[in-house]
Structure 1
């Protein structure tokens, strides 16, 4: 048979995987512009409203390895579709919420639902027999597609959230999840390969104690070091992603739309680099380049202040686009190669947990550095931490012999 139909079928599968994976990064940042309105309408303090951010981070951090384990045992299609249903249900619950408690529950549900997409998508990609049968792209190509959509939506989240709040109110940020969930289901039902029959599911492998498989990590030191690189990288990325716009608006006086436009440089550079990073079999080089970019970005934060020229202000997110683009996809490709054959879903879930550990460390760093409001001094503290982390990543990467083997 001609190859063209197989190629079309491959794209038909990769597209719903990417659409499903969008929900997690966009929800992690889209809520930020809505917090003030939510606090006012539901009669809670802004500090309490910030709990909505933490709720999703914690739920996602715990849900990612669980979803990965369920994908390994029950099959990725079931987990992927169940996650889409939860995302749509959470959107309805949040849009109709009349109390903070209900809204908090909706955010937890969003975290659990969106946590299902990425580990199950990687499990689908890892199935080599299905990949050959369906004419899928090479795994690195699918990883590039997943990483690119995640990077773009992560940075676009605040912009989209701000526009929705301005036009329709904060409830619209939850209705987005209804659209994402329904669209994911519509694209996936006929495209995702069917899992093994229920009667052949190895239920004995579904041990709750193996979700956070410490023994797997202990037996695989290279994988443990990759998780550490995830934590360090995303501590810096989230610190810049959340902290730099605050400084732009509170110190430099940028309107939200202008600060969002500046931050698009980060996602733009990251997306371009993702396309190249996944094409190379070597992983050590891209990781070192990303760490150097992070070091340069940290140094730039040390000198940027209220009087800095605009080109220097824009240069900061450009520099941090290097680690976001290179380190994110390269570390994920490394997990793909280092994970046990039968445990990719669990291993991928743990990598996403490591990412959200970094996000929570970043929020703590910003709380210590900024206090009540962003300042030049606080930004310098963030820059010093970023530079120190970059040095640590350089040493960790340069001395990792497993990476040298490619």
Structure 2
């Protein structure tokens, strides 16, 4: 062995386990804030004397901010490294939590949710960036365990969020769901300072290389599109027009600038990555529409209480978490997506046959299929993106994956609103199923047609 080869070999070829705690904890902030708010909307509305249509902005504000913020902050992670963005984002979550705790009006609460959404947008792109960097540093593929941990952490906090929110409200009122961000953000800042590496790079001083006009056009396009999805009425015709105009300007800008925010030439040539984004959109459109629609139908048409509905949905959540843990031990990506797509088709098909007299066991049984697809599709798409994205743009690519997640949530909300225009009755549920079934079928078609998934490099355990 030559001296040169010895010097070039990494001194430590194992994944740096000290990164796991800050990466997993940071990635939990967004889903826990997304779900805790659901049980506090009524008490917040009573406190400020506003209707549910107004408090709904507390939900939409975070979704909208996160959908726009994740790829933008992800690109900043690519340029300046993950540590400063992770620390700044965590601090912003703490500031948002403090503002919400002391908020004198609903407007201040919405502002707090925007700050929390922007702050929580940094952790996931930073995590994916560091995981990819570790693979390059060690010369070995990243262990599947850390990717699985990110997926399971998001699902677990999403499941426990409403329960945690309910406990906090019982103990200290609705303001506690904002106050809980203070210790969580502090823990992220401390762990980030102690464990995240400083990555020196000449690009850190290259502020002029940031495509601010491109980011602005992207934010304008996505904001207009999502605002229309949140309220798709004819009176809002100008929103899709604005979105199309911004998209056209963004395309022209990104094709004629040296350092684009979205490198459309590279992105357009990466068909496997575009297919992953499409699969993420389809997966979460069905998942969120099923969750929102099925839950409302159980309470309004089937006549179940909120607690009984939660018990019916609990097996679905547990199966989703268990499936992610078990599937994370296997390297297949395409197989996960195929099984997840079939489970999704089965769940949507069953919805077509439900009625107000359907037995509880059948309602619980649907959780087997929905939990399976939730546990497989998100994990598989995340692993696919890890191998398909340009390593130099891992942060922004990971952010875009989350953007398509929230686009799916907005499409789902619009679909549920259209199907339940006259109430969450059985006819509306069947109409919703007729919309979801082609989406699930298209997900299977896209998966089967994507031959590149067979060549995705597996994540080896260490």
TM-score w.r.t. structure 2 length?
0.81
Aligned to 2:32: 26
SS in 1 for 2:340: helix
Pair 1:304-2:374 in alignment: no
Aligned to 1:272: 322
CA RMSD of aligned residues (A): 2.2
Q: Are the aligned partners of 1:78 and 1:195 in contact in 2 as well (CA < 8 Å)?
A: no
CA contact (8 A) 2:38 2:162 kept: yes
The aligned residue for residue 189 of structure 1 is 193
The offset of 1:216, in angstroms, is 3.4
Displacement of 1:269 in angstroms is 1.3
Change (3 A) 1:84 1:375: same
**2:69 aligns to what?**
63
- How far the C-alpha of 1:260 sits from its partner, in A, is 2.1
Q: How many residues align?
A: 399
Cα deviation, 1:97-145, whole Å, max 9, x if unaligned, reads: 1111111111111111111110111101110367539xx9934221100
Structure 2 CA distance for partners of 1:204 and 1:189, relative to 1, 3 Å: same
How has the CA–CA distance of structure 1 residues 129 and 29 changed in structure 2, closer, same or farther, with 3 Å as cutoff?
Answer: closer
Give the match's secondary structure for 1:72.
helix
> What is residue 100 of structure 2 aligned with on the other side?
94
Q: CA deviation at 1:314?
A: 0.7
Correspondent of 1:346 among 370, 387, 396 = 396
Alpha carbons 1:65, 1:211 under 8 Å: kept: no
Q: Structure 1's 174 and 282: CA in aligned 2 closer, same or farther, altered over 3 A?
A: same
In structure 2, the CA distance between the partners of 1:252 and 1:7, relative to structure 1 (3 Å rule), is farther
Is 286-295 or 219-228 further displaced after alignment?
219-228
Residue 166 (structure 1) aligned to one of 166, 170, 177: 170
Compared CA separation, residues 257 and 57, structure 1 to 2 (3 A): same
User: Contact between 1:83 and 1:115, CA under 8 Å: does it hold in 2?
Assistant: yes
Q: Which moved more, 1:304-313 or 1:277-286?
A: 277-286
- Structure 2 match to 1:391: 441
Answering whether residue 160 of structure 2 is matched by residue 156 of structure 1, we say yes
SS at match of 2:180: helix
Mapped partners of 1:185, 1:102: distance in 2: 24
- Any gaps of 5 or more consecutive residues in structure 1? 1-5
Equivalent positions of 1:150-299 (< 5 A) are 150-196=154-200, 201-208=205-212, 209=214, 210-299=260-349
CA offset digits 1:72-92 (Å, max 9, x no partner): 111101111111111111111
CA contact (8 A) 1:159 1:260 kept: no
For residues 196-215 of structure 1, give each alpha carbon's deviation from its aligned partner in whole angstroms, at most 9, with x where no partner exists.
26885443542232334444
Larger radius of gyration: 2
Change (3 A) 1:130 1:86: farther
3-state SS of 1:193 partner: coil
| Match status 1:330 vs 2:334 | no
For 1:48-102, what per-residue CA distance to the aligned partner results, in whole angstroms no more than 9, with x for missing partners?
A: 1111111111100000001110111111011111111111111111111111111
- The answer on 1:45 being equivalent to 2:51 is yes
Find the aligned partners of 2:431 and 2:133 in 1 and give their Cα distance.
45
Offset at residue 320 of structure 1 (A) = 0.9
Cα distance change, pair 396–197 in 1 and its aligned pair in 2 (3 A) = closer
Distance in 2 separating the partners of 1:222 and 1:130 = 21
CA contact (8 A) 1:155 1:241 kept: no
Q: Secondary structure at the match of 1:367?
A: helix
The CA distance in 2 between the partners of 1:314 and 1:86, in whole Å, is 40
Measured after TM superposition, the shift of residue 217 of structure 1 is: 2.3
Matched, 1:376 2:426: yes
Q: Deviations over 1:2-26 (max 9, x none)?
A: xxxx899943320221111111111
Name 1:356's counterpart in structure 2: 406
Q: Give secondary structure in 2 for the equivalent of 1:31.
A: helix
Query: C-alpha offsets along residues 270-311 of structure 1, whole Å, 9 cap, x if unaligned?
Result: 112212333333311110100000001101212222211111
Q: Take 2:13 and 2:325, find their aligned partners in 1: how far apart are those partners?
A: 19
- Match among 312, 315, 330 for residue 365 of structure 2: 315
Q: Which moved more, 1:211-220 or 1:238-247?
A: 211-220
